[in-house]
């Protein structure tokens, strides 16, 4: 069914925003909202709260705060799966073998530096969309940085 997902371009890939948005459009998504911003560490710890306690948590949250990021509301049929297919497997080395045209294969590096994020289900998509785009969001446009 037609619906929304949340996508994020991470600090290692925001300089590739044009190519990533071109891929988003070619794959039939409509962009409903977009925000270029930076997270503070408390924002990152909240956004990635489900990963608290995992060995990569500190590296992940520090990395996500290291430079600009871009949040996207992406609208399409089966949007959650469609965006996860376009970004490719979590591990970039796997992505380069299994999905060589995916965003993570093309623009990611390794480990936490995997270019893009995608919500894993409609519920988390709504939570993550609210985190970025609701009136109560902490995240400011890059104009303030």
Report whether 38 belongs to an annotated binding site. no
Question: Which is nearer to ligand CMP, 83 or 133 (by Cβ)?
Answer: 83
Of 60, 116, 125, residue with least CA distance to 88: 116
Give just the sign of the alpha carbon dihedral 86, 7, 16, 12. Answer: negative
Report whether 56 belongs to an annotated binding site. yes
Give the active site residue among 4, 38, 113, 117. 117
Angstrom distance (rounded) from CA 99 to CA 70: 23
Report whether 91 belongs to an annotated binding site. no
Q: How far is the CB of 40 from ligand CMP (least distance, A)?
A: 17
Torsion of CA 68, 72, 131, 45, to 10 degrees: -40
Q: Catalytic annotation on 16?
A: no
Residue 124: strand, helix, or coil: helix
Report whether 114 belongs to an annotated binding site. yes
Q: Which residues bind ligand CMP (CB under 6 A)?
A: 51, 56, 60, 90, 111-112, 114, 117-118
Q: How far is the CB of 86 from ligand CMP (least distance, A)?
A: 13
For residue 111, what is the DSSP state? T
Beta bridge partners of 3: 76
Question: Which is nearer to ligand CMP, 66 or 90 (by Cβ)?
Answer: 90
Question: Which is nearer to ligand CMP, 29 or 119 (by Cβ)?
Answer: 119
Tell me the Ramachandran region of residue 52: left when phi exceeds 0, alpha when psi lies from -120 to 50, beta otherwise.
beta
Question: Which is nearer to ligand CMP, 76 or 116 (by Cβ)?
Answer: 116
Residues classed as catalytic: 117
Binding-site residues from annotation: 10, 56, 84, 90, 104, 114
């Amino acid at each position: 069914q037609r619906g929304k997902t949340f996508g994020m371009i991470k600090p290692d890939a925001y300089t590739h925003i044009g190519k990533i948005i071109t891929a988003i459009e070619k794959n039939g998504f409509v962009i409903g909202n977009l925000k270029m911003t930076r997270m503070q560490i408390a924002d990152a710890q909240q956004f990635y709260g489900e990963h608290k306690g995992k060995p990569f948590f500190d590296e992940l949250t520090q990395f996500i705060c290291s430079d600009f990021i871009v949040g996207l509301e992406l609208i399409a049929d089966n949007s959650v799966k469609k965006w996860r297919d376009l970004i490719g497997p979590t591990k970039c080395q796997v992505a380069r073998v299994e999905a060589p045209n995916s965003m993570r294969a093309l623009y990611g590096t390794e480990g936490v530096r995997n270019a893009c994020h995608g919500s894993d289900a409609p519920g988390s998509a709504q939570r993550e969309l609210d985190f970025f785009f609701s009136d109560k969001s902490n995240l400011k446009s890059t104009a303030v940085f």
